[in-house]
């Protein structure tokens, strides 16, 4: 089922601001859904036309109680959400992964629900290059996922999401009492290219729940922004986890590429903190990750959060 009201699909980015707030308020980790560390940028006064990062995801949990997602996401917080995602489900066999491996697939979330490229297995020490590129038609976004070392194609997806992307950020998303990350994640050489220079874009950077970064710099007068490293700790400590509130999100059911059609798909409730750095942030946004074939009945929570501007 796809419950995707307008509010329920609000994209998620700029996690940094809300997570510290949640921790400071004494929020305990009592909700089903929680968040690991994050680093985000936005909104830019311009718009993003290209973004590249190389994600080293760390070993996936050997067993999975819920669903765990790692991603760099890009959006304007109300429109389509571009989000290539590392996924850990109770079984990751749908993409051919073995114990300790992730499945990666390019995905986009919008009013249409969730659309995905095919999934591929990824090992913890793999370097996964994730590029989001706006084509010269100024409308089509191409997600290209490759092994940065071998060049092997892992997933891709193209969709006419339009020239509206203003924020970019990482997420470590723990749904349905997930088994959290057991290793740190690293995003290397994250490079965001804007349409026009925005010398203040770097000022919008925000971190949450123990994530750190090094080497924030810009070139071409503020048109190209680079973060040398983003480090997200494993979710083993309280400081590395923030509970989420409010609206739901869900990742769409991955359908095994080597198998026929899923008999049933289900939504998975998730919540995404969506505070925008530098923006008034009072709500959470949502998306829904659909479960893969064979996943049963994680009923999505309907979202009611307010959207963020960033
Ligand atoms: C956000 O993106 C959507 C398209 O996904 C667009 O319709 C909307 O106008 C954009 N909002 C802003 C504030 O740019
Ligand atoms: C994109 O993925 C499809 C499978 O979904 C594959 O057939 C195609 O070769 C890929 N394209 C690129 C450029 O990797
Ligand atoms: C960093 O990424 C950019 C954009 O993909 C690329 O042009 C550059 O060569 C990379 N630098 C390093 C040191 O890998």
Q: Which of 63-67, 94-98, 222-226, 241-245 has the lowest mean pLDDT?
A: 241-245
Give the tens place of pLDDT for each residue, 127-147. Answer: 999 999 999 999 999 999 999
Q: Which of 14-18, 148-152, 156-160, 178-182 has the lowest mean pLDDT?
A: 14-18
Task: Give, for ligand 1, the residue of 76, 109, 276 to mutate: max count of ligand atoms closer than 8 Å to Cβ.
Answer: 76
Tell me the pLDDT tens digit for each residue of 71-128: 999 999 889 999 999 999 999 999 999 999 999 999 999 999 999 999 999 999 999 9
CA nearest neighbour of 73 among 301, 272, 239: 272
Question: What was the pLDDT predicted at 228?
Answer: 98
Residue 257: predicted pLDDT: 40
Q: What is the CATH number of the domain that holds 145?
A: 2.60.120
Q: What is the share, in percent, of the chain residues with pLDDT greater than 70?
A: 65
Tokens, residue 251: 């990742």
What mean pLDDT do residues 215-236 have? 96
Distance 159 CA to ligand 1 centre (A): 15
Quick one: tokens of 115? 């659309």
Ligand nearest to the CA of 309: 1
Gyration radius (Cα) of the chain, Å: 17
252 lies in some domain: yes
**Which ligand is located closest to the Cα atom of residue 142?**
2
Q: Which atom of ligand 3 is nearest to the CA of 131?
A: 5
Residue 13 has pLDDT above 50, yes or no: no
Bridge-based pairing of strands 38-41 and 167-175 is antiparallel
Give a yes or no: residue 120 inside a domain.
yes
Domain that holds residue 261: 12-291
Question: Are 45 and 64 contacting, i.e. CB atoms less than 8 angstroms apart?
Answer: no
pLDDT digits (tens, 9 = 90+) for 228-245: 999 999 997 545 565 544
Dihedral of alpha carbons 82, 32, 40, 10, sign: positive
The whole-angstrom distance between residue 11's C-alpha and the CA centroid of its chain comes to 9
Structural domain includes residue 255:
yes
pLDDT value for 73:
97
Beta carbons within 8 Å of 260's beta carbon, 6+ residues apart = none
pLDDT digits (tens, 9 = 90+) for 171-184: 999 999 999 999 99
Answer yes or no: is 305 within a domain. Answer: no
Among all bound ligands, the one having the nearest atom to the CA of 111 is 1
CA 153 – CA 118 distance, rounded (Å): 10
Average pLDDT over residues 198-217: 96
CA distance 123 to 157: 21
Between these two residues, 150 and 270, which has the higher pLDDT value? 150
Helix and strand totals (H; E) in the chain: 1, 23
The residue nearest atom 7 of ligand 1, judged by CA position, is 79
Q: Which band of pLDDT confidence, cut at 50, 70 and 90, is reported for residue 34?
A: confident
What's the confidence (pLDDT) of residue 291?
56
Joined tokens for residue 6: 């307008």
Residues at CB less than 6 angstroms from ligand 1: 76, 78-80, 161-162, 164
Q: What's residue 167's pLDDT?
A: 97
Domain-embedded: residue 307: no
Residues 6+ apart with CB under 8 A from 279: 14, 17, 43, 308, 309, 310
Tell which wins on pLDDT, 309 or 88.
88
Question: Has residue 261 got a pLDDT over 70?
Answer: no
Q: Which two tokens stand for residue 289?
A: 């990750």
The average confidence (pLDDT) of the chain is 76
DSSP string, 134-167: E-TTSS-EEEEEEETTT--EEEEEEE---S---E
With respect to residue 237, please indicate whether it lies within any of the assigned structural domains: yes
Cis peptide before 139 (omega within 30 of 0): no
3 within domain boundaries: no
What is the band of 209 on the pLDDT scale with cuts at 50, 70, 90? confident
Mean pLDDT, range 187-206, rounded to an integer: 97
Main-chain dihedrals φ then ψ at residue 21, nearest 5 degrees = -60, -40
Domain count, the chain: 1
pLDDT, tens digit (0-9, with 9 covering 90-100), for 263-286: 223 333 232 333 222 222 222 334
C-beta of residue 201 within 8 angstroms of C-beta of residue 81: no
Domain membership flag for residue 123:
yes
Q: In the prediction, which pLDDT does 248 show?
A: 38
d(CA 188, CA 50): 16
Query: Measured in Å, how far apart are the chain's first and last C-alpha atoms?
Result: 29
Question: What pLDDT is recorded for position 71?
Answer: 97
């Amino acid at each position: 089922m796809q419950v995707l009201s307008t509010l329920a699909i609000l994209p998620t980015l700029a996690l940094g601001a809300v997570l510290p707030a949640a921790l400071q308020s004494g929020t305990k980790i009592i909700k089903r859904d929680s968040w690991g560390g994050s680093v985000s940028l936005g909104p830019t006064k311009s718009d993003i036309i290209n973004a590249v990062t190389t994600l080293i995801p760390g070993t996936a949990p050997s067993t999975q109680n819920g669903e765990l997602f790692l991603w760099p996401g890009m959006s304007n917080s109300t429109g389509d959400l571009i989000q290539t995602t590392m996924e850990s489900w109770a079984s990751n066999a749908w993409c051919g992964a073995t114990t300790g491996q992730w499945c990666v697939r390019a995905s986009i979330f919008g009013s249409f629900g969730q659309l995905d490229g095919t999934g591929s297995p990824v090992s913890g020490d793999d370097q996964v290059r994730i590029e989001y590129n706006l084509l010269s038609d100024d409308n089509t976004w191409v997600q290209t996922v490759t092994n940065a070392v071998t060049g092997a194609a892992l997933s891709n997806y193209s969709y006419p999401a339009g020239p509206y992307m203003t924020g970019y950020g990482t997420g470590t998303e723990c749904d349905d009492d997930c088994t959290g990350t057991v290793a740190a994640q690293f995003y290397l050489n994250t490079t965001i290219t804007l349409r026009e220079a925005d010398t203040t874009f770097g000022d919008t950077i925000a971190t949450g729940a123990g994530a750190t970064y090094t080497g924030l710099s810009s070139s071409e007068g503020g048109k190209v922004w680079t973060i040398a490293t983003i480090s997200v700790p494993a979710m083993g400590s309280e400081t590395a986890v923030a509970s989420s509130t409010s609206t739901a999100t869900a990742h769409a059911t991955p359908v095994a590429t080597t198998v026929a059609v899923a008999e049933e798909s289900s939504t998975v409730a998730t919540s995404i903190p969506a505070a925008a750095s530098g923006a008034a942030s009072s709500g959470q946004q949502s998306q829904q990750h659909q479960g893969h074939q064979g996943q049963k009945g994680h009923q999505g929570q309907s979202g009611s959060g307010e959207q963020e501007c960033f």
